[in-house]
Structure 1
């Protein structure tokens, strides 16, 4: 039995029950809010595997947005617009009022807003040799100008062999050690706060066979900036080098952050006008 029940309607589309979602969130509030190295939770059988197997069966094969850099390799993001009607509906439910109620009760965050643009979200797939370096996520939505607060990942990998690698790693805020490792098995959900030092990733190349890939659902949630948060620096995805490894230091990214923090806004606007706008996720 799944933790968060989806009620299937006569037309075959599942919906979350808001009161049941609230209760599930309240029951896990202490675990989430007191977790280390930063607030998070790992929940198995989060959504009924019947629905997730349908997502797997309808997983898109068209070309989504593919990442090919040293810190993010052989990964593709599929926006809901590139997915089947069923997958689009399930993603919409993860942005619904009922699901937001679950997140509010569990995290204690008020005023959570879902992302109707699915910036960086939707479905993710990483193939043999692919990886996602340890990083902290971008902290401001490029269109809504809201603060990113929570990530949700639901894994879609049935019969995933631990020898394939691909575990999600949660690192301490000083980037000294991995504090938690989570295997990406079917039905397992991971939710966590996305602060400027919530470092996470699956940084070692996957060793799965060519016909196997690491797949997941990803949705992100936001709140308005308040008080001192308004003074927080704007950050793109900030990759970190693990100690004692050959991880690449992203000099270009750190220079961009330096310029944003210290170059007067009028000069930044002129510099940005000369190059296309990009979004790091």
Structure 2
């Protein structure tokens, strides 16, 4: 499913593009998958009805963690992502020993329906089930057929240290590999897709094993817009404490959604 030959033939260029990208390391790869297979996979994707757990900081966003069960093509894509061959490619591009979580904890198929948005945020850093797995990368494959800039929903990335930011278009069969760090904010503004069309993507995460923790473990850190309500800003400010307290007594909802 993944165009491995193309990636392996262009490793040096891909590494340079990733490491030198601004505002922080990221990489955009078009035609990431074999087009015919991805077209078939897209045709099998249903409308999702499982609302995202980010509902306080997102609107009309739906998800399915176990997307590989939808069709053979998506199963092939899932297997390709977690393969040793792909892990070697990722490690070369990033110049770090990275690997895709074979169970794709917290990832999956995402659909943004009418007026969908996702506030800027930092993702959790250490894997909740493997305490020494540090999250290095987001891998986002976009499935937006005939996407146009006026549909909005481009991936916004911002460096929390410098406030430099960029917005990346999200057309069909585009993979964006984005560094995860304590400063790598990302999200997307409210969409304007035509009726019956959704902002669709598959999210996958890659890690590095740490022998000692270099950061305090956190859940998601949210950064609502300046014009957000007082209540939303307060929730964002206290989100980590609230989620960690809830998980202590009731367990992780993300961990259960596999």
In the superposition, the TM-score normalised over structure 1's length comes to 0.79
Q: 2:141 corresponds to which residue?
A: 154
Q: 1:200 corresponds to which residue?
A: 186
Matches within 5 A, 1:235-246: 235-242=218-225, 244-246=226-228
Q: 2:209 corresponds to which residue?
A: 224
* Cα distance, 1:256 vs structure 2: 5.0
User: Alignment partner of 2:61: what SS?
Assistant: strand
Q: 1:99 corresponds to which residue?
A: 86
More deviation in 63-72 or 207-216? 63-72
* Cα distance, 1:163 vs structure 2: 1.5
Distance 1:231 1:32, change over 3 A: closer
Contact 2:38–2:73 (8 Å) recurs in 1? no
Structure 1 position 79 matched with structure 2 position 69: no
* Cα distance, 1:172 vs structure 2: 2.2
Quote the RMSD (CA, aligned, Å): 2.8
* Cα distance, 1:91 vs structure 2: 1.2
* Cα distance, 1:180 vs structure 2: 1.3
Gaps of 5+ in 2: none
Cα distance in 2 for partners of 1:47, 1:24 equals 15
* Cα distance, 1:98 vs structure 2: 1.1
* Cα distance, 1:140 vs structure 2: 1.4
Distance 1:272 1:97, change over 3 A: closer
Contact 1:60–1:82 (8 Å) recurs in 2? no
Q: 2:249 corresponds to which residue?
A: 274
More deviation in 88-97 or 45-54? 45-54
Cα distance in 2 for partners of 1:38, 1:154 equals 19
Bigger Rg over Cα: 1
Number of matched residues? 253
Cα distance in 1 for partners of 2:228, 2:41 equals 36
1:111-165: per-residue Cα shift (whole Å, max 9, x none)? x222122112221111111111111111111222211111111111111122221
Q: Give the alignment partner of residue 151 of structure 2, picking from 164, 171, 179.
A: 164
* Cα distance, 1:69 vs structure 2: 2.2
In the superposition, the TM-score normalised over structure 2's length comes to 0.86
Gaps of 5+ in 1: 6-15, 261-267
Contact 1:25–1:104 (8 Å) recurs in 2? no
